[in-house]
Amino acid sequence: MTAGIRTRDLGIDFGGGVGLHDVDLEVPARGVHALIGPNGAGKTTLFSILTGLVPPGRGTVILGGRIAYCPDTPEHEPWLTAAEVVAQSRALCGLPRDATSDRTVLARCGLVEVADRRVGSWSRGMTQRLGIAATIATGADVLVLDEPTSALDPFGQAEVLRLVRELGDERCLVLSSHSLAAVERVADTVSILHRGRLLWQGTLPALLADGLSATWIVRVAGVAGVAGMNDVNDAADLGVLEERLRARPGVVVARRGPAELTVTYADAATGTRRLASDLAAAAVPVVSATPEAGDLDSAFVALVTAHDRRTEEIPT
C-alpha cells in the first residue's frame, strides 16, 4: 500500500528520556489516521518533525506529496476576513487566486455566512474551523490536524468529524485527539504513542480486538434462584468458581450478576492461553465464557498499562 507518511528510526532527544525514540510510522496514502497518546507522549513533537517545523535528531521522513498542518490553536491576522485568510493560505502555496474555491472551502467548514467578517473577535471554536479551512485550501496531499475538535461544542464537533471523514476519503488525513470516542467514529487506522515510543499501529478494528479481550464474562450453570437454573445442588458453583479462580496467579475476578463473573488477566495473550485451563482446573460447570465488549478508551488504557508494567519489570 502506498504510504502518505513513512518514518524510519525517527528520533529526537531533549534529555532525560524526553523526545522521540526510533519511531517507525506508516500511514496510508488515503484515509483517516489517528495518533493518540497521553499528555506528553510526543504527539506534537512528531507533528512538528513531519511538517518540517523541527528537524529530527536522527532518522528519515518520507511524504507521499505536499503536507499542510493545522495546530490545535491556529492564529490569524485579526484584520483579515475569513475569505482573505483562506485566499492567503492558497497564495502562500503558490496556487492561483480562486474566490469560488475559497467559498467552497469555507462552506465545508460551516463558515461561508461569515466569510466577509474580520476574524479578530472570533471565538476559539470559529478560529479553529478557519484554521482547518486554511489547511484544506492548500490542496495538500497530506493534512495534519492537531486536536481539530478541542474547542468545539457537540454540534460543531459532529460537523468537523463529518468533514474529517470526507477528507479522509479524498486524501491522507492525520489527526490527534484526546476524544477517543471521536477517533472511534472517524479513524481507519490508529497509532499509539507513549513516552516517545510507538506502542502500536494498525487498523481500528484490529486495535479493538487486540486491546479489549483481557476480560471474559463467565456464566456458571445451576445457580439456585436464577430463572432456568434450578439445580439446588449446584447453588454454590459461582462462589466455588470465584474462589478457585482467585487462587490462580495474576487473575482478577469480580461478581457481575447472580450467575456471572468477570475474569481479567494481565493481557489478552495470557488470558487466551490460560482461561480454558483455569476454568477446567476449577472443576465447576460453566455455560459460557465470552470476551467482554469495550471501546477504544479501554483498549488504549490496556495497551499503555501493559507497556508500563513491562517497563517496570525490566531490571535497571
What CATH number is attached to the domain comprising 237? 3.30.70
pLDDT at residue 2 greater than cutoff 80 = no
Taking the C-alpha atoms of residue 142 and residue 123, their distance in angstroms, rounded to an integer, is 27
pLDDT of 248 = 86
Length of the chain: 316
Same domain, 261 and 114: no
**Which of the listed residues 206, 238, 263 is the one where a domain comes to its end?**
206
Is 9 in a helix, a strand, or coil?
strand
pLDDT at residue 49 greater than cutoff 60 = yes
Same domain, 142 and 277: no
Residues 62 and 46 sit within 8 Å (Cβ to Cβ): no
Query: What is the pairing mode between strands 286-291 and 260-264?
Result: unpaired
219-264 pLDDT, tens per residue?
887 544 434 444 444 445 788 888 888 888 888 999 888 888 999 8
Taking the C-alpha atoms of residue 91 and residue 276, their distance in angstroms, rounded to an integer, is 64
pLDDT at residue 158 greater than cutoff 50 = yes
Residues 214 and 274 sit within 8 Å (Cβ to Cβ): no
What CATH number corresponds to the domain at position 81? 3.40.50.300
Is 61 in a helix, a strand, or coil?
strand
pLDDT of 283 = 84
pLDDT of 232 = 41
Same domain, 200 and 223: no
pLDDT at residue 1 greater than cutoff 60 = no
pLDDT of 83 = 97
Q: Which residue has the higher pLDDT, 233 or 164?
A: 164
Strand partners, 5: 27, 63
Mean pLDDT of 273-279: 88
Alpha helices in the chain (DSSP H): 43-50, 82-92, 99-108, 124-137, 154-170, 180-186, 204-211, 237-246, 268-282, 296-313
pLDDT of 211 = 58
Give the total number of structural domains in the chain.
2
Query: What is the pairing mode between strands 31-36 and 172-176?
Result: parallel
170-201 pLDDT, tens per residue?
999 999 998 888 999 999 999 999 999 999 99
Q: Burial of 290 by CB count in 10 Å (0-12 exposed, 13-18 middle, 19+ buried)?
A: exposed
Same domain, 166 and 232: no
53-112 pLDDT, tens per residue?
999 999 999 999 999 999 998 999 999 999 999 999 999 999 999 999 999 999 999 999
pLDDT at residue 144 greater than cutoff 60 = yes
Residues 6 and 67 sit within 8 Å (Cβ to Cβ): no
Instruction: Tell me, yes or no, whether 47 lies in a domain.
Output: yes
Q: Burial of 313 by CB count in 10 Å (0-12 exposed, 13-18 middle, 19+ buried)?
A: exposed
Average pLDDT, the chain: 88
Mean pLDDT of 282-290: 85
Angle between the N-to-C axes of helices 204-211 and 296-313, in degrees from 0 to 180, rounded to the nearest 10: 60
Domain region containing 119: 3-206
Q: Which residue has the higher pLDDT, 167 or 292?
A: 167
Instruction: Tell me, yes or no, whether 130 lies in a domain.
Output: yes
The pTM of the full predicted model, rounded to 2 decimals, is 0.75
Same domain, 175 and 81: yes
pLDDT of 79 = 97
